[in-house]
Amino acid sequence: MAPHNAPFTVSPHSLPATTHNYLLRAAESLSEAVAARDVPTRYACAHVAALRAAAALLAARARPAAAPRRRSQKNAWVLLAEVAPELGEWATFFAAGAAKRAAAEAGSTRAVTEREADDLVRDADRFLALVEHSLGLTPHLLLGEHLAGRAVAG
């Protein structure tokens, strides 16, 4: 069994179905974020898109522990930093936004600003592309152009 920090050598064609499923769901959440008119929904959907992208990478790279021990549970961002240290800064960034996402999902209209929501959509978009690339897949086309037009129109 490979250690958590072993280089990723699986062919993109042999990725688990779960990885592809999470990537698809991440793209769907990102599309929902782009289409969302209200700020809290845009922020929450973008954060969920990033979380699903992280889950895709974890599904591809994570390996079960050799011996089941009672360990404290770790969230996806902590696991991502362990399994893919090169994405550690992204993990820290998205972990810091989890409380805002929870507040946005709870309906708080003061949890995030429109600028924060739009920035998170762009960040989640870039993060999804990085995950796709790290899995050996062709990254999706970034939404930057579409989002820039939205800022001018809005």
Q: How many CB atoms lie within 10 A of CB 1?
A: 7
- Let me know if 126 is exposed, middle or buried by CB neighbors in 10 A (0-12, 13-18, 19+): middle
Give me the pLDDT at residue 10, please. Answer: 53
Provide the pLDDT confidence category of residue 46 given band limits of 50, 70 and 90.
Answer: very high
Task: Report which of residues 148 and 53 the model is more confident about.
Answer: 53
Distance CA 89, CA 148 (A): 25
pTM > 0.85: no
3-state secondary structure of 44: helix
Give me the pLDDT at residue 143, please. Answer: 78
Average pLDDT of the chain? 85
Residues 6 or more apart whose Cβ sits within 8 Å of residue 72: none
- Let me know if 97 is exposed, middle or buried by CB neighbors in 10 A (0-12, 13-18, 19+): buried
Task: Write down all domains in the chain, each with its CATH number in brackets.
Answer: 15-62+75-153 (1.20.120)
